[in-house]
């Protein structure tokens, strides 16, 4: 009998068919979000699983699913995967880097621009039928071109945002990251390294693109928001939990900062209720990578990883983007 794998959310059927060429496949076409116990139940007898950025793959789950050999995610962020626990059990795990970089950077830029130029706020005003006359200061926001762009986290997506800012909009780009880029990359991007506090003080627009971890939990909370200019915007396209959403809602309400753009939330899909009561925030449902070609590329990359990790297909034994390649040795 063929090996069995699980696809735990609804995924493009033609891409799932690529798995059917090699394995028996259980899918979740109704796209129910399974609890941990339901996921464990569906994983019984499965050697591989196609996951997204939310299913927890950790020691307790691996303990309950001893046949599992590979868990391949279509997300780039992998804070839902305990990589050392997987390595200890020789379970290959992979994420989906690179294929979503430019699409996600486009979205981060769009969200920042929407916050700066008050696009969502003014559209809501118009839809409410409140637009009765043009006015000089109506929805006057802040400029993006020529402004100072502060990027927290300077991985692939941060760098793609820096290029847009420097080359397309003539922005002064500053960044803060755990490790500093080489002088050549800084010169190519036109980006200057600064400390986190300086970044918050100097930026007109702060964009967050750091991975979520214990170290980045509430990286931006009330003390950090207090450092920002009252005219500044804050955009989070990284993960919920990096920004203290309650503190941000207060800062927006009190006009401590001008506006925010949020694609990710603490405890999503639930939102901190105060965020829904402040007008100066653009809210989107975790869609930064959601162009159709990119979501397909992400799903295809997870499938490539799963097929190869389970010893099938042309890349047999050589998944393209493993997080723990030592498992393959
Ligand atoms: C989306 O948030 C991802 O990590 O791919």
State whether CATH 3.40.50.720 applies to domain 101-283.
Answer: yes
Tell the CATH superfamily of the 4-99+292-328 domain: NAD(P)-binding Rossmann-like Domain (3.40.50.720)
- Marked catalytic residue, from 192, 253, 268, 296: 268
Ligand 1 centroid – CA 51 distance (Å): 12
53 lines ligand 1 (CB under 6 A): yes
Same-fold call for 4-99+292-328 versus 101-283: yes
How many Å apart are CA 275 and CA 282, to the nearest integer? Answer: 10
How is the chain split into domains, by residue range? Answer: 4-99+292-328, 101-283
158 lines ligand 1 (CB under 6 A): no
Residue identifier of the C-alpha nearest atom 1 of ligand 1: 75
Closest CA to 240 of 217, 269, 266: 266
76 lines ligand 1 (CB under 6 A): yes
Position 2 scores a pLDDT of: 85
Q: Is the pLDDT of residue 169 over 80?
A: yes
Mutate to test the pocket of ligand 1, among 93, 100, 209, 294 (most ligand atoms within 8 A of CB): 100
What average pLDDT score do residues 194-203 get? 98
Ligand 1 centroid – CA 75 distance (Å): 4
3-state secondary structure the chain: CCCEEEECCCCCHHHHHHHHCCCEEECCCCCCCCCHHHHHHHHCCCCEEEECCCCCECHHHHHHCCCCCEEEECCCCCCCECHHHHHHCCCEEECCCCCCHHHHHHHHHHHHHHHHCCHHHHHHHHHCCCCCCCCCCCCCCCCCCCCEEEEECCCHHHHHHHHHHHHHHCCEEEEECCCCCCHHHHHHHCEEECCHHHHHHHCCEEEECCCCCHHHCCCECHHHHHHCCCCCEEEECCCCCCECHHHHHHHHHCCCCCEEEECCCCCCCCCCHHHHHCCCEEECCCCCCCCHHHHHHHHHHHHHHHHHHCCCCCCCCCCCCECCHHHHC
Position 1 scores a pLDDT of: 62
Going by pLDDT thresholds of 50, 70 and 90, the confidence category of residue 94 is: very high
What average pLDDT score do residues 284-303 get? 98
Ligand 1 centroid – CA 289 distance (Å): 7
Ligand 1 centroid – CA 286 distance (Å): 8
Residues 46-76 pLDDT 10s: 999 999 999 999 999 999 999 999 999 999 9
Q: Is 272 a catalytic residue?
A: no
The predicted model scores a pTM of 0.97
- Determine what percent of the chain is predicted with pLDDT higher than 70: 100
**Contact at 8 Å (CB) between 286 and 263?**
yes
How many Å apart are CA 176 and CA 30, to the nearest integer? Answer: 42
Q: Is 176 a catalytic residue?
A: no
Residues 107-166 pLDDT 10s: 999 999 999 999 999 999 999 999 999 999 999 999 999 999 999 999 999 999 999 999
228 lines ligand 1 (CB under 6 A): no
Q: Is the pLDDT of residue 238 over 80?
A: yes
97 lines ligand 1 (CB under 6 A): no
């Amino acid at each position: 009998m063929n090996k069995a794998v699980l696809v735990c959310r609804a995924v493009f059927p033609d891409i799932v068919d690529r798995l059917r060429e090699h394995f028996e496949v259980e899918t979740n076409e109704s796209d129910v979000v399974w609890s941990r116990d339901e996921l464990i139940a569906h994983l019984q007898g499965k050697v591989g699983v196609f996951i997204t950025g939310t299913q927890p793959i950790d020691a307790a789950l691996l303990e309950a699913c001893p046949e599992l050999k590979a868990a391949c995610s279509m997300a780039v962020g992998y804070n839902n995967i305990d990589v050392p626990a997987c390595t200890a059990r020789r379970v290959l795990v992979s994420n989906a880097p690179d294929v979503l970089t430019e699409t996600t950077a486009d979205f981060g830029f769009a969200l920042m621009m929407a916050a700066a130029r008050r696009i969502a706020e003014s559209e809501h005003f118009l839809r409410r039928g409140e637009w009765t006359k043009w006015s000089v200061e109506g929805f006057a926001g802040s400029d993006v071109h020529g402004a100072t762009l502060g990027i927290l986290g300077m991985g692939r997506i941060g760098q793609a945002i820096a290029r847009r800012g420097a080359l397309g909009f003539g922005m002064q780009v500053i960044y803060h990251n755990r490790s500093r880029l080489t002088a050549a990359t800084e010169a190519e991007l036109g980006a200057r390294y600064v400390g986190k506090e300086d970044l918050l003080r100097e930026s007109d627009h702060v964009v967050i693109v750091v991975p979520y971890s214990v170290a980045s939990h509430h990286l931006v909370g009330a003390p950090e928001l207090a450092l920002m200019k009252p005219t500044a915007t804050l955009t989070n396209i990284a993960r919920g939990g990096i920004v203290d959403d309650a503190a941000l809602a207060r800062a927006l309400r009190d006009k401590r900062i001008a506006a925010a753009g949020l694609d990710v939330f603490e405890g999503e899909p639930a939102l901190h209720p105060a965020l829904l009561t402040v007008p100066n925030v653009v809210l989107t449902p975790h869609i930064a990578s959601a162009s159709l070609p990119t979501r397909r590329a992400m799903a295809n990359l997870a499938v490539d990883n799963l097929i190869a990790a389970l010893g099938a297909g042309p890349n047999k034994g050589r998944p393209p983007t493993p997080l723990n390649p030592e498992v393959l040795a």
